[in-house]
Chains A and B, each alone.
Chain A
Amino acid sequence: MHIFVMLLVNGLAEGALIFLMAAGLSIILGLVGVVNFAHGTLFIWGGYMSIWVFRLTASFPLALLAALATGVIMGIVFERLFVKPVYGKVTSQILITLGLMIIFTDMVRLLWGPNPIPMVRPPWLDGTWVFGQVIIARYRVFLIAVGLFVAVGINYLINKTRIGMVMRAGIQSPEMVQALGINIKLYFAAVFAGGAGLAALGGALYAPLVGSVWSGMGIDNQILAFIVVILGGMGSFYGSAVGSILIGLTSAFTAWFFPPLTAYSTLLIMVVILSLKPEGLFGLAVRK
Chain B
Amino acid sequence: MTAKWWLWAAYAVALISLLVFPHVTGVMMRELIGRIFILAVFGMSYDILRGYTGIINLGHAAFFGGGTYIAGIVFTRLGTSAAALLLAVALAWAFAALLALIMGQFAFRNTGAGGVLACAMITLAFGEMVRHTAETLREFTQGADGLTFVVPVIFRDRIGMYYYALLFLVVMTVLLRQFINSPTGRVLQAIRDNEQRARFLGYDVRKYKLLALVTAALAASSSGFMFALLTRFANTDLLSVQNTLNALLFTIVGGTGTLYGAIVGTAFVQLVQSYLLELRGIHEIFARWQIFFGAIYVLVVLYMPLGMVGAFLRIKGSLARWRTAGSNHTEAGE
Contact = CB atoms under 8 A, between A and B. Distances in A.
A103 B121 CA distance: 20
Interface string B102-130: 00001001101110111011101110110
A212 to B, nearest CB: 17
A86 to B, nearest CB: 8
Interface stretch (A179-187, A248-256, A271-279): A271-279
A85 interface: yes
Contacts of A35: 117, 120-121
A96 B122 contact: no
Interface in B5-58: 50, 54, 56, 58
Given A102-B242, A110-B291, A91 B114 contact: no
Most A CB contacts (10 A, CB to CB) among B54, B114, B245 go to: B114
A234 B294 contact: no
A103 B110 contact: no
A103 B113 contact: no
Interface size on A, as a range, is 35 or more
Contacts, number: 112
Given A92-B305, A99-B298, A264 B129 contact: yes
Nearest to B242: A102
Given A102-B242, A230-B118, A223 B125 contact: yes
A82 B297 CA distance: 12
B295 interface: yes
- DSSP majority for the B interface? helix
Given A110-B288, A285-B114, A103 B120 contact: no
B295 A103 contact: yes
A267 interface: yes
B248 interface: yes
A15 B79 CA distance: 47
A35 B295 CA distance: 20
B245 A102 contact: yes
Interface size on B, as a range, is 35 or more
B228 interface: no
Contacts of B89: none
A100 B124 CA distance: 16
B116 A96 contact: no
A94 B113 contact: no
B114 A223 contact: no
B129 A267 contact: yes
Given A85-B302, A99-B298, A285-B110, A227 B125 contact: yes
Most B CB contacts (10 A, CB to CB) among A90, A102, A260, A264 go to: A102
Interface string B290-319: 110111011001100100000000000000
Most B CB contacts (10 A, CB to CB) among A94, A107, A229 go to: A94
A53 interface: no
B95 to A, nearest CB: 17
B241 interface: yes
A58 interface: no
A229 B293 CA distance: 29
9 contacts: A29-B117, A94-B56, A95-B252, A102-B245, A103-B295, A234-B110, A234-B117, A267-B125, A286-B117
Q: Which 6 A-B pairs have the closest CB atoms?
A: A103-B294, A102-B294, A286-B114, A99-B297, A99-B298, A106-B290
Given A82-B302, A103-B298, 14 more contacts: A29-B117, A95-B56, A98-B58, A98-B248, A99-B295, A99-B301, A101-B294, A103-B291, A104-B294, A106-B294, A220-B128, A223-B125, A267-B129, A270-B122
